[in-house]
Amino acid sequence: MPAEHPEPDSVARDSEPARVGLISDTHGWLDPRAVAALEREEPLAAIVHAGDIGADPQVLYELGAIAPVTAVLGNCDAPLPGFDLPRLASLLVAGRRIAVIHDFADLGLIPDGVDVVVRGHSHVPSVQWHGRVLVVNPGSATQRRRQSSCTVGVLEIAKDGSLDARIVELDELGARSR
């Protein structure tokens, strides 16, 4: 059954270029390299966390010190004290509607009017177009599994509304400290 699509929260006005930090699958720990990668992109209009945050809400507090955070619950998440996180969220940045979900398979059909879907779950970073919709998985910021590096992503929305996304490999920023 497709998830209902909530009304988006607007975090940047139309016709303004904007960057959005993308992160997923932190599993209770925020790698300082992920923070450094996102801070390097400032100013960010928003940060999107695509689930599997972990049991420590400190992850969301640390991200919130960089930019406003929109986060969803992942399959490994329990409700976090002080946060009422949905399974599907939506936000509007620079006139572009972004849907956030942990597992892309749970989305069903991409809702009308969505320009970008940010997803997680697989720990495999990817940037793909599904028709006119950009689908980005920033990978995992803490558990690389079979990937060459832990990763985060950056979504860029140009003044003309065009979209681009890129993956940032955290190993390029130094050795993991944990």
Q: Is 167 within a domain?
A: no
Q: Is 3 within a domain?
A: no
Q: Which of 119, 100, 163, 26 shows the shortest CA–CA distance to 35?
A: 26
Q: Does the pLDDT at position 7 exceed 60? A: no
Q: Is 31 within a domain?
A: yes
Q: Is 166 within a domain?
A: no
Please count the structural domains in the chain: 1
Whole-number average pLDDT of the chain? 90
pTM of the full structure: 0.90
Q: Name residue, tokens 């003309």.
A: 160
Q: Does the pLDDT at position 18 exceed 90? A: yes
DSSP helix/strand/coil, 45: coil
Give the number of C-alpha atoms closer than 13 A to the C-alpha of residue 119, restricted to the C-beta side. 19
Residue 73 sits in a domain whose CATH number is 3.60.21.10
Q: Which domain holds residue 21?
A: 9-155
Q: Is 130 within a domain?
A: yes
Q: Is 171 within a domain?
A: no
